[in-house]
Amino acid sequence: MAKKAKAYVLDTWAVIAYLEDEPSGEQVEDLIATAHEEQIPIYMSVINVGEVWYTMAREISEAEANASVKTLHDLRIQFENADWELTQEAARFKSQNKMSYADAFAAALSKIKKADLVTGDGEFKPLDGEIKISWV
């Protein structure tokens, strides 16, 4: 039996899939519901929340971007600020891997929180093993 996650970190890819009702979004929705039932915390870096916001603002509108962030709050996802420990870990991931800086923050938060990173973004494949990834 697979070991139950102690916490989850959502990356931007997973949140956009959820918000835009993409096929993987249902898996993200189920994971969030299960995490709440089992009282497992769910985190996002504010860097990734900002990435969600600008993606929705660019694709739809600022009003929709604001509504998306409200949805994340309503889902009780905990926003984590980028202190030096998180930023340095993100910078280390970025320096050693081909990935976006925002993705590096999701990976760093996952490592620091000892949480499963929830994603379907292939940029994280090289990190599978250094951090635990829940693929959706």
Read off the pLDDT of residues 31-85 as tens digits, 9 standing for 90 and up.
Answer: 999 999 999 999 999 999 999 999 999 999 999 999 999 999 999 999 999 999 9
* Spatial CA neighbour of 82 closest among 51, 58, 60, 61: 51
Q: How far is CA 87 from CA 3, 47, 48, 53, 97, in A?
A: 28, 10, 13, 20, 15
Per-domain residue ranges for the chain? 8-128
Check residue 87 and report its DSSP letter: H
Predicted TM-score (pTM) of the model is 0.93
**CATH number of the domain at 8-128, out of 3.40.50.1010, 3.30.300.30, 3.90.180.10, 3.40.47.10?**
3.40.50.1010
Per residue in 99-120, pLDDT (tens digit) is 999 999 999 999 999 999 999 9
